[in-house]
Each structure stands twice: as C-alpha cells, then as structure tokens.
Amino acid sequence: MGVDMAVVVIIGASLYFLVAGARLVWTPTTFEWPTAPFWGSLGFELVLAVLYLTGSWAMTGRSYGASLLGLRVLSSRGRIPGWSLSFVRAVCCVLFPIGLFWVALSPNRRSIQDVVLRTVVVYDWRGAA
C-alpha cells in the first residue's frame, strides 16, 4: 500500500515537472511554476491512483507493491481480473481504503473490497519482480 502510494506520488510529481518544463520551454521569459488548488491536486492524484491500480491489476494481477510482497489479485475464477473488475476494485480501494484493514480481522484474510467484488489476493512468487 505504501509503495504503491509512493509510486503514484512520484508519477504525479513527474507529470508536474513535465508540465513545468513545457511551460519553461514555451515561455521562458515569463515562466511561473504551475499552481493548482489543493482539492484539484488531490483529485488528480486519486484519479492517477485508480488508473495505476486498474492497469496493474488488469494486465498482471499485481501492482509494484504487491509484486514486492509476492501477492496477486485474482477473480473468483482464479484468473487475472479484467479491466472492468480491476477498475471497480481500484475505485473501491482508493475511495474506501479503510476496507483494506478488514484483512486483519477476516478469517479468510479478505478485505471488504474482496468480499463484495468476489476477488482474492494470493501469494504468487512466480514472476515477482
């Protein structure tokens, strides 16, 4: 969770510096650092997190942080979740992160998102980074 959050922040910061660099090249004499309201930046980071998690889970079943821990998200059929299931799970995890802590209380070690969406997180060290 923390590693993936750091990845999203680094991607967001990289995009910010890319925009700033483009502004510097475009108008070097009147350059000003780009500014955005706090809520706009937060919303952008949340959307970026959803896109990152959706892409990671839909393509490989794991994000970078999950790869470090040897974890993989699977559908109820034991396959990598498709794009739609990955998107819904990512939205649920980003907007309702407290549901992830249910893992500590659940006898099956499933988050609330996993129970509702019928996904499962398994140990899978094969192909881990």
User: Is residue 14 assigned to a domain?
Assistant: yes
User: Is residue 108 assigned to a domain?
Assistant: yes
pLDDT at 107: 87
Check residue 77 and report its DSSP letter: T
pLDDT at 129: 52
Domain count for the chain: 1
User: Is residue 128 assigned to a domain?
Assistant: no
Over residues 94-103, the pLDDT tens digits come to 999 999 898 8
Domain that holds residue 81: 2-123
User: Is residue 61 assigned to a domain?
Assistant: yes
Element (H, E) at 9: helix 2-26
User: Is residue 129 assigned to a domain?
Assistant: no
Q: How far, rounded to the nearest angstrom, does the alpha carbon of residue 51 sit from its chain's CA centroid?
A: 7
Q: In 1-129, at which residue ranges do the beta strands (DSSP E only) sit? A: 71-74, 120-123
pLDDT at 60: 94
Q: Can you tell me whether residue 105 is helix, strand or coil?
A: coil
Q: Enter the pTM of the model.
A: 0.88
Q: pLDDT tens for the chain, 129 residues: list them.
A: 789 999 999 999 999 999 999 999 999 999 999 998 999 999 999 999 999 999 999 999 999 999 999 999 999 999 999 999 999 999 999 999 999 898 888 888 899 999 999 999 998 887 555
